[in-house]
Chains A and B, each alone.
Chain A
Amino acid sequence: MNQNLPDNQQQTIIQAGPEPQGTGACISRRRFLLSGTAAMACTILLPGVAGAAGNIVDAVTAKYPTKKVGTLSQLKDGVQVIFSYPEPTVSNFLVKLGEKAGGGVGPLEDVVAFNALCTHMGGPMLGSYKHEHKVVGPCPFHLTTFDMKRHGIVVAGHATESLPQVLLTVEGDDIYATGFIGLIYGRHQNT
């Protein structure tokens, strides 16, 4: 039981032991959302060990690979950087917002990553980031916009889901993708 959460949220955390501290600590997607920071979001770094060691195990993120998707030093404020994950055919983007964001990594907790397909009808969201607003969109198809500071929530438009957020973690200068929050457009399962 997590004493900090009401009863109706308990089932979302599968927890078999005390929460570890520092680098390498693992956390569920639920806590990722609540904490508003991805500094602890690292489920996958020690996938073989996490469950066995009795740490918090996220049943969903555990099935994703860990992949290096960029480096902090090469990101420029407001510029989308494309990467594929979890498979070569799935396009996502990294963006450095310049302001702290939900799920952000890096010293300013401002680096976030999202899938590049609009969750309404699959429109391409690359190239439409508006740095002034920290928003991606409007989608070229039907004008939906998503808030990059707030886990990709719909600002205005028609998608029934937030833009799927890529879980990130940082080791030194390297940025790793470790999982997804949400279902990628067009799929019935992400992996």
Chain B
Amino acid sequence: MAKPYYEPTDSIPLPPADAETLTTACDYCIVACGYKVYRWPIGKSGGPKATENALKVDFPRNILQGGWISPNMHNIISHNGRQHHVVVVPDREAKVVNKGGAHSIRGGAIAQKCFNPKKPTKDRLQTPLLRVNGELVPISWDAATDIFAEVSKHVIDNYGSHAWAQKRYSYQYFENTYALSKFAWVSIKTPATAEHDNPGHFSSTPGWRDIGFENFAACYEDYLIADTVVISGTDPFETKTILFNEWILPGVRERGNKLIYINPRKTTGAAFAEANGGLHLWLNPGTDTLLCMGISRVIIENGWEDSKWIEEFTNNKWESDSGFGQGVRNTPWQWRTTWGKFQCNGYEDFKKWLLSQKESELAHVSEMTGVSIADIRRAAEMMAKPKADGSRVKTTIGIEKGSYWSNNYLNTASIGDLALLCGTGNRPGQMISRMGGHQRGGMTAGGYPRNHSPEKFAGRRRKGLDLDRWVEAGKVRFSWVVGTTWVNAMTATGHLFDTLAKQTINSPHQLKSTDTKAAIEVFKQRTDAGGMLLVEQNIYLTEDLGKKLADLVLPAAMWGECDFTRANGERRIRLYSKFMDPPGDAKPDWEITAMLARKMGFDGYDWKTSNDVFEEAARFGRGGVLNYHPLVKYAKKHGKTGHEQLREYGTTGIQAPIRLEDNELVGTKRLHDLSLALPESGPEGHTVWPKKLKSFNSQTGRANFIKTPWFLFGDFYDEIKPRDGELWVLNGRINEIWQSGFDDIIRRPYITQRWPENFLEVHPDDAAKLGIESGDYVTVTNDRVPVQVSGFIARDVDDLLFTGLKKNGHIVYDKAEVKAVAIVMPVPKVGTTFMYFLNQKESANRVVPRVTDPISDNYRFKLGFGKVAKSGESPYKHTFAQMSFASRAIM
């Protein structure tokens, strides 16, 4: 347990002039600011003159100079077995992303993530563990890999590859994701795999896939040089801090840009938008599609659409139906093609459809969304009304999970249509992009083995498997969980916990000793009886999965403990340098994977270094957005490794896809980029020019308008809409704990002090009715959490809508409760509350329905609901050392 209070110090050691310097990037949010690590042996320190310290700057530092080392930037680590000081500071020489050394509260305290046996990180996993007589006890790597391999082989031989599951992060560095996916998809060929944030392998923005937009097409400069920036379902002030501070905020202050926030919470960024001539569309949860349709109607009725651009860059009637004769239907979800509900025969058809929909009528939109008609009109004006001289407003759109995790297909499609009306998508300052959550560290070997998936739409292509339902159906007998909580991260958390407990700790087949042979036999018996061997591989034991359920635990190395690579939200790839030893016997995930693969008898896992994996993986990313293959080839030609080449780029890195031009490597600033000049001589060397470099990623390279029929979501929305005193219980991220929850809520004392427990933001009007004050403990109870079970085959659309699922017996109802500390402030909209999403002890996901989007199979994570009641007073209510109950939207 961490200390409840951060102990502020009033001095820090300075790195001496001869301290070693390494470059890295922050491990946390998508923006991935550039950092420098200064390392020197204990017993020394530098002085305040520029000549006396490794930063080569004079102390004290002045305002905005950068180069200050805050106490949270210092730690003591082990390097080659000896204690060293490190300071991990934002790179004040950074030329990109965090120019001049800007940082967030997360990255600025990242040094506290380093393993230090005298600090709260002391509970890092350091050796493999096996659950014997209910307790986790240390065992050797040899024993652990034997058990893993023998039980895996038994399960695959007797029950098939789809009984062997892998649940893993999608992002924790190219080297690791490549190794893990090679193991599951190439060597085992199991379809029973899922990434950390959904129950299978699905597109996060399926509407955009149909339109032709890539997820991370924009660069950060686009948010600066636009006139209007639309931000939907997120506040980058909170969760993309440096994108906001260094790119969005200067655009408002220096260029007079306008911001439009679409969000059920009025956070700091939304309040800033309103205070600076922008808009906050404070909408009811789950109604984004209707709002976008309403804004689109205003644009169309006023003739503000960018007709010339639409003519040139969107598909007409014939083009919509082209491309293998399937046109817009030629998508990863061909199984739904018979529905015919989405395809438009060109813009005129879309216009006719939209204007015919009751759901786009402003009175209806206003009633459903809670946004005034005046604000809907104002948003349309700011996005699309031509200026007095006839020139067009440049609109850039960024979305994130509040949008696509409340109504996945329709929200992404409807805001994509809105972008097309504005002429947004393929020009500087006129881009549409995901703003991002975690960094982009996924590099996979081969593809997901969809053909092995048992889930399908009758007569059509197979769907990716929903792992959570597959486990519940009793089909999984081995699960390897890497770097994710699984339980807390999925909806209807309690239901999933019960499912996993039934097959593990509640199985009669439990270990009585650490004897390896005996353990293998017991686990084989357990799997033969329908149970499961559950393996957690992580840096810390997770609360539910690790501490309560896992049979076998494998200790992983993390950021700073091995050379790794990955990309940020503008596809910028950097080397994340190793600068400290992993604790104990912990190893990087790629190395653990290789050990396990060799025990299984698989070929192709003879890597010696992480660079070996990086270079092998390069070949598999050639056609993709993160293609770095030319860099590896270039490095080899110049007698270097791929990692060495990338290290030379320091914190600047290089933007993927990487190309070769005139024998030099060049990055790609944005995708679908009309302004990109490519050599007439064609692609050079190993360079690949995918269509998406200059065109949209559709059948023709031009974009598709997509219909967004409300019925796909309407029956589910009617089911879950709060009633009888219930409130929405949104879950999401906040600045202090975002992409850093796996270590810092519990293990970075300043953050622990700020957020000692999970919280529930309640609007003052709701709080008054419920008799709740800031600092009160509250319970959120939901006695009707819908949970989707079984049902791996559907015949038509009706089968997959909520009504059809319920009619066919695929919906059961669960009860759930979660506890939090109330904070009363006018940040969530009336009728809406907000809770941090991934507190492992009090999981917001408990009160969230487990019903997937019928098109994409993504969860609607954001739409929790329940009754809120006071249950007592927290110790923070009348003391001052921890938490804060002040508003997060003070301007």
Q: Are A188 and B11 in touch, CB under 8 angstroms?
A: yes
Within B871-890, the residues touching A (CB, 8 Å) are: 879-884, 886-890
CA–CA, A60 to B71, complex, Å?
15
Q: Are A160 and B73 in touch, CB under 8 angstroms?
A: yes
Minimum CB–CB distance for A61 against chain B, Å: 9
In the complex, the chain A residue whose C-beta lies closest to that of B881 is A33
Given A143-B237, A160-B105, A187-B59, also A137-B881 (CB < 8 A): no
Given A158-B103, A186-B60, A187-B60, also A142-B249 (CB < 8 A): yes
Given A150-B883, A188-B12, also A157-B61 (CB < 8 A): no
Q: Are A151 and B63 in touch, CB under 8 angstroms?
A: no
Q: Are A189 and B11 in touch, CB under 8 angstroms?
A: yes
Q: Are B104 and A158 in touch, CB under 8 angstroms?
A: yes
> Which residues in B have their C-beta under 8 angstroms from that of A191?
10
CA–CA, A12 to B4, complex, Å?
13
Q: Is there a chain A Cβ closer than 8 Å to B750's Cβ?
A: yes
CA–CA, A98 to B572, complex, Å?
50
Q: Are A145 and B890 in touch, CB under 8 angstroms?
A: yes
Q: Are A164 and B60 in touch, CB under 8 angstroms?
A: no
Q: Is there a chain B Cβ closer than 8 Å to A57's Cβ?
A: no
> Which residues in A have their C-beta under 8 angstroms from that of B272?
143
CA–CA, A154 to B883, complex, Å?
9
Question: What sequence of 0s and 1s flags, for each residue 233-272 of chain B, a beta carbon within 8 Å of any chain A beta carbon?
Answer: 0000110010001000100000000000000000110001
Q: Are A133 and B890 in touch, CB under 8 angstroms?
A: yes
Within A149-180, the residues touching B (CB, 8 Å) are: 149-151, 153-162, 164, 180
Majority DSSP secondary structure for residues of A touching B: loop
CA–CA, A99 to B3, complex, Å?
28
> Which residues in B have their C-beta under 8 angstroms from that of A33?
5, 881
> Which residues in B have their C-beta under 8 angstroms from that of A157?
105, 268, 735
> Which residues in A have their C-beta under 8 angstroms from that of B267?
156
Given A153-B884, A157-B268, A161-B70, also A36-B109 (CB < 8 A): no
Minimum CB–CB distance for A158 against chain B, Å: 5
Q: Are B59 and A188 in touch, CB under 8 angstroms?
A: yes
> Which residues in B have their C-beta under 8 angstroms from that of A117?
63
Q: Is there a chain B Cβ closer than 8 Å to A15's Cβ?
A: no
Question: What sequence of 0s and 1s flags, for each residue 59-99 of chain B, a beta carbon within 8 Å of any chain A beta carbon?
Answer: 11111111011111100000000000000000000000000
CA–CA, A102 to B750, complex, Å?
16
Minimum CB–CB distance for B61 against chain A, Å: 4
Minimum CB–CB distance for B10 against chain A, Å: 4
Question: What sequence of 0s and 1s flags, for each residue 428-439 of chain B, a beta carbon within 8 Å of any chain A beta carbon?
Answer: 000000000000
CA–CA, A9 to B7, complex, Å?
10
Residue in A8, A151, A187 whose CB lies within 8 Å of B880: A151
Q: Is there a chain A Cβ closer than 8 Å to B384's Cβ?
A: no
Q: Are B64 and A161 in touch, CB under 8 angstroms?
A: no
Majority DSSP secondary structure for residues of B touching A: loop
Residue in A9, A60, A101, A156 whose CB lies within 8 Å of B268: A156
Q: Is there a chain A Cβ closer than 8 Å to B374's Cβ?
A: no
Q: Is there a chain B Cβ closer than 8 Å to A138's Cβ?
A: yes
CA–CA, A184 to B62, complex, Å?
11
In the complex, the chain B residue whose C-beta lies closest to that of A148 is B886
In the complex, the chain A residue whose C-beta lies closest to that of B735 is A156
Q: Is there a chain A Cβ closer than 8 Å to B736's Cβ?
A: yes
Q: Is there a chain A Cβ closer than 8 Å to B48's Cβ?
A: yes
Q: Is there a chain B Cβ closer than 8 Å to A42's Cβ?
A: no
CA–CA, A123 to B70, complex, Å?
15
Q: Are A162 and B890 in touch, CB under 8 angstroms?
A: no
Q: Are A154 and B105 in touch, CB under 8 angstroms?
A: yes
Residue in B7, B72, B880 whose CB lies within 8 Å of A102: B880
Q: Are B736 and A154 in touch, CB under 8 angstroms?
A: yes
Q: Is there a chain B Cβ closer than 8 Å to A182's Cβ?
A: yes
Q: Are B880 and A101 in touch, CB under 8 angstroms?
A: yes
**Interface size bracket, A side:** 35 or more
CA–CA, A120 to B255, complex, Å?
24
Q: Is there a chain B Cβ closer than 8 Å to A84's Cβ?
A: no
Question: What sequence of 0s and 1s flags, for each residue 792-822 of chain B, a beta carbon within 8 Å of any chain A beta carbon?
Answer: 0000000000000000000000000000000
> Which residues in A have their C-beta under 8 angstroms from that of B62?
122, 186
**Interface size bracket, B side:** 35 or more
Given A138-B268, A180-B10, A183-B10, also A150-B881 (CB < 8 A): yes
In the complex, the chain B residue whose C-beta lies closest to that of A151 is B880
Question: What sequence of 0s and 1s flags, for each residue 34-63 of chain A, a beta carbon within 8 Å of any chain B beta carbon?
Answer: 101000000000000000000000001000
Residue in A9, A36, A122, A143 whose CB lies within 8 Å of B881: A36
> Which residues in B have their C-beta under 8 angstroms from that of A137?
890
Minimum CB–CB distance for B116 against chain A, Å: 14
Given A33-B881, A134-B886, A147-B884, also A183-B11 (CB < 8 A): yes
In the complex, the chain B residue whose C-beta lies closest to that of A161 is B70
> Which residues in B have their C-beta under 8 angstroms from that of A9?
3
Q: Is there a chain A Cβ closer than 8 Å to B317's Cβ?
A: no
CA–CA, A137 to B249, complex, Å?
16
Q: Are A182 and B8 in touch, CB under 8 angstroms?
A: yes
In the complex, the chain B residue whose C-beta lies closest to that of A165 is B8
Q: Is there a chain B Cβ closer than 8 Å to A75's Cβ?
A: no
Q: Is there a chain A Cβ closer than 8 Å to B415's Cβ?
A: no
Q: Are A143 and B268 in touch, CB under 8 angstroms?
A: yes
CA–CA, A120 to B90, complex, Å?
12
Q: Are B59 and A186 in touch, CB under 8 angstroms?
A: yes
CA–CA, A73 to B12, complex, Å?
38
Q: Is there a chain A Cβ closer than 8 Å to B691's Cβ?
A: no
Q: Are A158 and B71 in touch, CB under 8 angstroms?
A: no
Q: Is there a chain A Cβ closer than 8 Å to B9's Cβ?
A: yes
Q: Is there a chain B Cβ closer than 8 Å to A135's Cβ?
A: yes
> Which residues in B have their C-beta under 8 angstroms from that of A147?
884, 886
Listed residue (A120, A137, A191) with the most chain B CB atoms within 10 angstroms of its CB: A120
CA–CA, A150 to B886, complex, Å?
10
CA–CA, A154 to B882, complex, Å?
11
Q: Are B891 and A138 in touch, CB under 8 angstroms?
A: yes
Q: Is there a chain A Cβ closer than 8 Å to B14's Cβ?
A: yes
> Which residues in A have their C-beta under 8 angstroms from that of B6?
162
In the complex, the chain B residue whose C-beta lies closest to that of A147 is B884
Q: Are B11 and A121 in touch, CB under 8 angstroms?
A: no
Q: Is there a chain B Cβ closer than 8 Å to A185's Cβ?
A: yes
In the complex, the chain B residue whose C-beta lies closest to that of A149 is B880
Q: Are A183 and B8 in touch, CB under 8 angstroms?
A: yes
Given A147-B886, A189-B10, also A158-B72 (CB < 8 A): no
In the complex, the chain A residue whose C-beta lies closest to that of B110 is A160
In the complex, the chain B residue whose C-beta lies closest to that of A130 is B890
Within B847-891, the residues touching A (CB, 8 Å) are: 879-884, 886-891
Q: Are A185 and B68 in touch, CB under 8 angstroms?
A: yes
> Which residues in B have their C-beta under 8 angstroms from that of A103?
880
> Which residues in B have their C-beta under 8 angstroms from that of A181?
8, 10
Q: Is there a chain B Cβ closer than 8 Å to A70's Cβ?
A: no
> Which residues in B have their C-beta under 8 angstroms from that of A119?
70
Q: Is there a chain A Cβ closer than 8 Å to B754's Cβ?
A: yes
> Which residues in A have their C-beta under 8 angstroms from that of B880?
36, 101-103, 149-151
Q: Is there a chain A Cβ closer than 8 Å to B753's Cβ?
A: yes
Q: Are A135 and B886 in touch, CB under 8 angstroms?
A: yes
In the complex, the chain A residue whose C-beta lies closest to that of B7 is A12
Minimum CB–CB distance for A44 against chain B, Å: 14
> Which residues in A have their C-beta under 8 angstroms from that of B65?
122, 186
> Which residues in A have their C-beta under 8 angstroms from that of B68?
122, 185-187
> Which residues in A have their C-beta under 8 angstroms from that of B3?
8-9
Closest 9 CB pairs of A and B: A102-B880, A189-B11, A160-B108, A122-B63, A182-B8, A186-B61, A186-B60, A160-B72, A147-B884
Q: List 28 A-B contacts (CB under 8 A).
A: A8-B3, A29-B8, A33-B881, A36-B879, A36-B881, A60-B9, A121-B66, A122-B64, A124-B63, A133-B887, A141-B64, A149-B886, A154-B754, A155-B890, A156-B735, A158-B245, A159-B108, A160-B71, A160-B73, A160-B109, A162-B6, A162-B8, A182-B8, A182-B71, A183-B9, A186-B59, A186-B63, A188-B59
- Other contacts beyond A157-B105, A186-B65: 4, CB < 8 A: A102-B879, A149-B880, A154-B884, A158-B108
